[in-house]
Structure 1
Amino acid sequence: MANAASGMAVHDDCKLRFLELKAKRTYRFIVFKIEEKLKQVVVEKVGDPTQSYEDFSASLPVDECRYAVYDFDFVTEENCQKSRIFFIAWSPDNSRVRSKMIYASSKDRFKKELDGIQVELQATDPTEMDLDVIKSRAS
């Protein structure tokens, strides 16, 4: 179903891969891309569970917008192993204005399709989503 605001549909594969990340922990991260010609959000890249946060951040283009989901594992002060699923709206300053507008107008609808997001981040440069930011938002 297309989003009324931006006309973007969400490919079934996006939801399927997200469920695999959430339920089976098949992936560490998923990067989503809007295919403007197809008017839909598609999976661009998945990272296997052994990949690091650096692998994830390196998979985001420096001059194009993306949506991403990252499964962050951490240990609490009480020494409990926990995990948080982050939704990251990546919109670098040097990306095209049209692209920023399309991603911004489609974000909420797309996020609703991914049931189980625990933390949302907006980032326009890598410092806004570095590991320290992730750690501070996870707890």
Structure 2
Amino acid sequence: MAVHDDCKLKFLELKAKRTYRFIVFKIEEKQKQVVVEKVGEPTQSYEDFTASLPADECRYAVYDFDFVTEENCQKSRIFFIAWSPDTSRVRSKMIYASSKDRFKRELDGIQVELQATDPTEMGLDVIRSRAS
């Protein structure tokens, strides 16, 4: 599975310049490559992010999560989320599962990985607890 250059470019912009809040990636089966499907502006919320994931199709996503530690320090963590809803096609789940590690290696700087099959597995409470 090839990775479109745009994926790496947008990820670097999110990581270094914080140009985006999130990026949703999609596998184009016909072209056999991972492409950028959607980017979220820095002002968009976590709810905007989760709403941009299709309910019955797999996606990869990166989310830049800002939080404040108990010591009152402003921090951020870059999450990699493998979204694989139970209702998606088996073939799709297999393709996303088998390509995940290779794709993740292309994105240097991911701090936390999350696998989710339904929205509760990537709720804000889960994100907060994994961030700290």
Question: What's the offset of the Cα at 1:70?
Answer: 0.0
Equivalent residue of 2:7, what SS? helix
Question: What's the offset of the Cα at 1:89?
Answer: 0.1
Normalising by structure 1, what TM-score?
0.95
Question: What's the offset of the Cα at 1:22?
Answer: 0.0
Does residue 124 in structure 1 map to residue 117 in structure 2? yes
Residues of 2 paired with 1:43 and 1:94: CA distance? 22
Question: What's the offset of the Cα at 1:43?
Answer: 0.0
Equivalent residue of 2:71, what SS? coil
Question: What's the offset of the Cα at 1:41?
Answer: 0.1
Report what 2:85 is aligned to.
92
Equivalent residue of 1:122, what SS? strand
1:9-53 alpha-carbon deviations (Å, 9 max, x no partner): 000000000000000000000000000000000000000000000
Q: How many residues align?
A: 132
After superposition, the CA RMSD in angstroms is: 0.1
Residues of 1 paired with 2:103 and 2:10: CA distance? 14
Residues of 1 paired with 2:24 and 2:123: CA distance? 16
Residues of 2 paired with 1:126 and 1:9: CA distance? 28
1:78-120 alpha-carbon deviations (Å, 9 max, x no partner): 0000000000000000000000000000000000000000000
Report the identity percentage.
93
Question: What's the offset of the Cα at 1:136?
Answer: 0.2
Does residue 64 in structure 1 map to residue 54 in structure 2? no
Equivalent residue of 2:15, what SS? helix
Question: What's the offset of the Cα at 1:76?
Answer: 0.0
Equivalent residue of 1:37, what SS? coil
Residues of 2 paired with 1:114 and 1:37: CA distance? 23
Give the unaligned 5+ runs of structure 1. 1-7
Report what 2:72 is aligned to.
79
Report what 1:111 is aligned to.
104
Normalising by structure 2, what TM-score?
1.00
